[in-house]
Amino acid sequence: MMTTWSAYLRSDAPTSRRQARLCQLWRRWLALRGNPLAVIGLLIVLALLAVAMFAPLIATHDPIAQNLDQRLRPPSAAAWLGTDALGRDIFSRIVHGARVTLAIVLLVVVTVGPIGLLIGASAGYLGGWVDRALMRFTDVFLAFPRLVLALAFVSALGPGIVNAIIAIALTAWPPYARVARAEALVIRSADYIAATRLLGASSWRIVMRHVVPMCMPSLIVRTTLDMAGIILTAAGLGFLGLGAQPPLPEWGAMISAGREQIFDQWWVATFPGIAICVVALGFNLLGDGLRDVMDAK
């Protein structure tokens, strides 16, 4: 069984579209596997997914159960990472917070990536007034500091995690458009694009099927670099009471809640901070590895 799968994936002469794509995925997987840093990144991301999925099984306590007797206790056998100002177990809050973090990051990326990509790729390929109009539109959003604009949107839409996600998404898309446009400008003078124009393909078809796939590697790296920024923006909003509302165990909100006690009860802010660092690093490493693998001609 294994040998037939192995032969199928290593085949030099695939016999169907599906096999060709699977073979390519397999080759890319082998390349990724050979990059130790990318593997570390992948393991971290998988760990995040696992923790988020199995949070109720992994957490030792109820994340929102308050126990005022046990306020601000240091890490011990009872509370592995200590307790916060309301006696809630920090470990359990971090574990459940993985779900919130994952939700924020994925929802933002899934909305922002495609929009930025489409706008940027179209602007770069079509040029002329379309390019100018789209880029000026992008500039409007780029002109504001991200947090300020997010604040404005959240104030208008009302506090809450969902509105925070929308606000962050609205401010995070411009750099993706810029990156996609830069790639598209280079790609559009390639011979294979000229050949496709010569076949009579419409501009829409060329942008969607030929330009966009070539912009993906840079975009993936940009996305993973942005993950930390998105988490921190959510944290900033949480600090101002405009993002995740208590008692939701969002890591950024946990850090800002623990600011007051940073010197005496360092564990309240530090452990969520470590969690954010590790997750951001994991996404970065994975993204770099993916870009190397996808760039290979």
Partner 1 sequence: MSTQPAIAVSHLDVRFGQAHVVRDVSFHVRDGESYGIVGESGSGKSTVLRVLAGLNQDWSGTIDIRGAPQPKRRDKAFHGAVQMVFQDPYGSLHPKKTIDDALAEPLSIHGIGGTDARITRALDEVGLPRSFRFRYPSQLSGGQRQRVAIARALILEPGILLLDEPTSALDVSIQAEVLNLLQALRVERGLTYVLVSHNLAVVAHMCERLLVMQLGRAVEEMQARTLTARAPQTEYARQLLLASEGFSRPSV
Indicate the residue among 195 and 274 with the shorter CB distance to partner 1: 195
Give the residue from 136, 132, 293, 117 showing the smallest Cα distance to 211: 117
Provide the minimum distance between the beta carbon of 115 and partner 1 in the complex, in angstroms, as a whole number.
22
Provide the minimum distance between the beta carbon of 194 and partner 1 in the complex, in angstroms, as a whole number.
6
Binding site for partner 1 (CB under 8 A): 12-17, 19-20, 24, 190-192, 194-201, 205, 210, 213-214, 296-297
Indicate the residue among 61 and 188 with the shorter CB distance to partner 1: 188
d(CA 102, CA 58): 16
Provide the minimum distance between the beta carbon of 125 and partner 1 in the complex, in angstroms, as a whole number.
14
Indicate the residue among 132 and 209 with the shorter CB distance to partner 1: 209
Indicate the residue among 26 and 266 with the shorter CB distance to partner 1: 26
Give the residue from 212, 228, 133, 222 showing the smallest Cα distance to 176: 222
Helix (H) or strand (E) run with residue 34 in it? none
Provide the minimum distance between the beta carbon of 144 and partner 1 in the complex, in angstroms, as a whole number.
36
Provide the minimum distance between the beta carbon of 131 and partner 1 in the complex, in angstroms, as a whole number.
17
Give the residue from 217, 216, 213, 235 showing the smallest Cα distance to 280: 235
d(CA 248, CA 220): 29
* Strand partners for 83: 89
Q: CB–CB of 94/251 below 8 Å?
A: yes
Indicate the residue among 248 and 290 with the shorter CB distance to partner 1: 290
